[in-house]
Amino acid sequence: MKELKIARLKEGTVIDHIKSENTFRVARILGLENSSSMVTIGANLDSTKMGRKGLIKIENKFLNEKEANKIALVAPEANLCIIRNSQVEKKIRLEVPDELRGLARCINTNCVTNHEKAETRFIVESKEPLKLRCHYCERIFGKGDLEIL
């Protein structure tokens, strides 16, 4: 039997169909542990499509482009919906942008961006599998080394 465990949102954002293992990473990069909004986090929920999935609902919060791009990096499979007046106003397709600015830290400790006040910048060399090149130190690295700011 399927029962409703999570209340409907009136205004806010729903991030659905997150791969279960990515759920808390998404919550972390959105800084939800410090949020004053009403937040619902569901992990390992039953899903007909995915088997198990994660779900995050945040009341009165509408993600900006930068936040959507961060989610695209760690959970590109997720669906993002903007809810207004209890209705889905907009579905946002998550896509890794061609260039990332100020979203992630460079893993190269000798990169100038880890020593000077400079916004990090990465060129996306490949989206699947994710491969990034630092605009400054030119080091190439993959998703496993990604450290979201």
* Contact flag: residue 110 with another protein (CB under 8 A): yes
Find out whether 70 and 122 touch, Cβ atoms under 8 Å. Answer: no
- Interface with another protein, residue 140, by CB under 8 A: yes
Q: Does 129 bind another protein (CB under 8 A)?
A: no
Q: Is 9 within 8 Å of 59 (Cβ atoms)?
A: yes
Cα separation values, 79 from 32, 36, 55, 97, Å? 18, 23, 9, 16
- CB nearer to another protein: give 95 or 119: 119
Interface positions, 7-26, toward another protein (CB under 8 A): none
- Nearer CB in complex with another protein: 17/139: 139
89, 95, 98, 138: residue in contact with another protein (rule CB under 8 A): 138
**Residue 50 binds to another protein (criterion: CB under 8 A):** no
**How many beta carbons lie within 10 A of that of residue 110, not counting itself?**
9
Q: Say if strands 12-19 and 79-84 run parallel, antiparallel, or are unpaired.
A: antiparallel
Query: Is beta strand 79-84 parallel, antiparallel or unpaired with respect to 87-92?
Result: antiparallel
Q: Is residue 82 at the binding interface for another protein, with CB under 8 A as the rule?
A: no
E strand or H helix that includes residue 52: strand 51-59
Shortest distance in whole angstroms from residue 141 CB to another protein: 7
Should residue 113 be labelled a site residue for another protein when binding is judged by CB under 8 A? yes
Q: Which residues of this chain interact with another protein, rule CB under 8 A?
A: 106, 108, 110-113, 115-118, 134-141
